[in-house]
Amino acid sequence: MATPATFVEFSRQRGLSPDGRCRAFADAADGTGFSEGVGLLLVERLSDARRKGHPVLAVLKGSATNQDGASNGLTAPNGPSQQRVIEEALRNAGLTPADVDAVEAHGTGTTLGDPVEAQALLDAYGAHRSGRPPLRLGSLKSNIGHTQAAAGVGGIIKMVQALEHRTLPRTLHIDAPTRHVDWERGGLSLLTENTPWPEGERPRRFGVSAFGMSGTNAHVILEEPPAEDRAPVRRPGQPAPAPEPAAVDDTATGGPYVLVLSAKSPAALRGEARRLRDHLTAARPEAELRAVTAELARTRAGFAHRAVVVAEDRAQAVAGLTAVAEDTPSPYVVTGHAPATRAPVFLYPGQGAQWPGMARELLDASPAFAARIGEAAAVLDPLTGWSLLDALRGDADLTRVDVVQPVLWAVMTGLTAVWESFGVRPAAVIGHSQGEIAAALAAGALTAADSAAVAALRSRALRALAGTGAMLSVAADERAVREVLEATGGGGAADASSGGTIAVAAVNGPRSTVVAGDPAAVERVRQAFDDQGVRVRLIDVDYASHSAQVESLEAELLAVLPHPRTARG
């Protein structure tokens, strides 16, 4: 817009309206009218918006892009490509053409482009609306002109406003619809008047098209949000409501409080700590410390230079921040350096990581954990015959494998939700022993229902082996353990499938090996290592997991477990 080049080029192509007005889909259309604009959309996952208390204006259901390729050249749009991009967006949204009420068209007001686009809309949407109202069609360019790269964003903003005000606005400058579109065919209706758009039995939905000169086509489909997530409608001139405090994911009182800081350099990190300390002591002494810690974890980008202040109260938090700001040691501070792009790996442990009262406080402290535990209970309780919530809040018998394993599975899935609520998402997941079930769920390899079924039905089958075996953790390498197995009569060459009375069940590390088998044989190995002064620990199980003993359950499990489905279909 700052130079005449664009206007000259489009005038030569007869693509520029002489009076600067976009008469989209009008019979009198004579070219587009350029303008300039900036649009901003805040896009986040619906679950994040709910957690942070952000009002939701619309929900993105699906989108698609494609390219005309070697079709009609730079100045002529390609209708079949436009039709395909719409159909792909519908597929990605899981919707049919009849599920969409209106489309904000690209609609530039050119004699060639508008009829091609209308025909593509008729083919993609209009031919599949039997018994439904026609697709309503409009273009914001008739109001504000063609804002070029900002046009698509402007179309979304217009239609979001139409949702809020329950009205589809008319398209301006249309004395008569273009004669180059078969409007009588039905299925497509040009918005020449403001049209009521009331709420109905299903969510109202709209599509927005944007087509680039280079042949790139884009189409998005959005719908109105659930009633509980919507922002209140504010009329022109009405003052904005006072902002509500952001939702805090952890409502427990008392510490510890964890303040996460990061920056691109040590100096910037010190400055960050100093500003936060001043915020807590001078600018906002009334600020709720737990809310501050939650927002630091959720909303701030992670950079390479890190510091974490762990405090029991505000005084310790201020002392820790002062230490970071002044680059002095403090018992409340942990510092480090990590690549900003490196994501963590989640490791899900096996049985033996439990303790009485496990997760009881977290159930009351974290809404994210409580919500995920509720979801787990919904699929787990019908399988176990007992209440997961009662087991966590009461004194569940964690010595029973058919109790402890489903409970551990649920707690691990709940902890996944807690980390995700703080914006921590893994680059990969690892499951150790029974932890593989929760890891498979986190990775999307199993649905919640199938993952719960594996945890519940597998542990129920294992109960038949109760009292028949034992397991021992040895602080020694695999070779040393096998030598002792041989010396005590266990068979040094035995492994988990050998069928012997004792075997190496797991090699957890260079000096961490687990054996499993007959209780008497395990006791002999324990005594042998104890005599050598090697640290050993009996694992709190009464069956020989990861050994030939459990192979007897294979047929039973295959008979009762559902055919596994992935969470991604």
Burial of 52 (0-12, 13-18, 19+ CB in 10 A): middle
- Rounded Cα distance, 534 and 88, in Å: 63
DSSP label at residue 26: B
The two structure tokens encoding residue 366:
């974290």
Name the 3-class secondary structure at 428: strand
Residue partners of 318: CB distance under 8 A and separation at least 6? 277, 280, 281
Per-residue pLDDT, 266: 94
Residue 292: CB atoms within 10 Å = 19
The two structure tokens encoding residue 63:
């989108």
- Rounded Cα distance, 406 and 388, in Å: 8
Q: What is the pTM of this model?
A: 0.51
Q: Comparing C-alpha atoms, which of 536, 421, 533, 519 is closest to residue 474?
A: 536
Per-residue pLDDT, 497: 41
In what side-by-side order are the strands of the sheet with 216-223? 59-67, 216-223, 205-211, 102-104, 135-138, 188-190
Per-residue pLDDT, 273: 95
Per-residue pLDDT, 504: 93
Per-residue pLDDT, 396: 65
Burial of 40 (0-12, 13-18, 19+ CB in 10 A): exposed
- Rounded Cα distance, 530 and 519, in Å: 16
Residue partners of 281: CB distance under 8 A and separation at least 6? 318
CB 565 within 8 A of CB 446: yes
In DSSP terms, 56 is beta-bridged to: 230
List per-block mean pLDDT (blocks of 10 residues) for the chain, which spans 569 residues.
75 81 92 91 88 87 88 71 95 93 93 92 86 91 92 96 95 93 88 94 95 90 86 49 38 69 94 92 71 82 90 92 95 86 85 80 87 92 90 77 89 92 86 91 89 88 85 94 87 44 90 92 93 91 84 80 59
CA angle 256, 259, 264 (to 5 degrees): 155
Residue partners of 496: CB distance under 8 A and separation at least 6? 503, 504, 505, 516, 546, 547, 548
Per-residue pLDDT, 301: 79
N-term to C-term CA, the chain: 48
Strand bridging mode 470-474 / 502-509: unpaired
Q: For residue 152, is it left (φ>0), alpha (ψ between -120 and 50) or beta?
A: alpha
Helix extents (H) in 422-569:
435-442, 448-462, 478-487, 519-532, 554-560
Q: Which domains does the chain possess?
A: 5-229 (3.40.47.10), 257-337 (3.30.70.3290), 345-464 (3.40.366.10), 467-555 (3.30.70.250)
Residue partners of 287: CB distance under 8 A and separation at least 6? 279, 280
CB 96 within 8 A of CB 128: yes
- Rounded Cα distance, 459 and 464, in Å: 9
Task: Please report, for residues 89, 143, 208, 337, the alpha-carbon distance to residue 137 in angstroms, rounded to integers and kept in the order given.
Answer: 17, 14, 10, 54
Residue 81: CB atoms within 10 Å = 21
The two structure tokens encoding residue 197:
């758009």
Q: Which residue has the tokens 């921040």?
A: 321
Count of all residues that appear for the chain in the document: 569
- Rounded Cα distance, 296 and 304, in Å: 16
In DSSP terms, 335 is beta-bridged to: 307
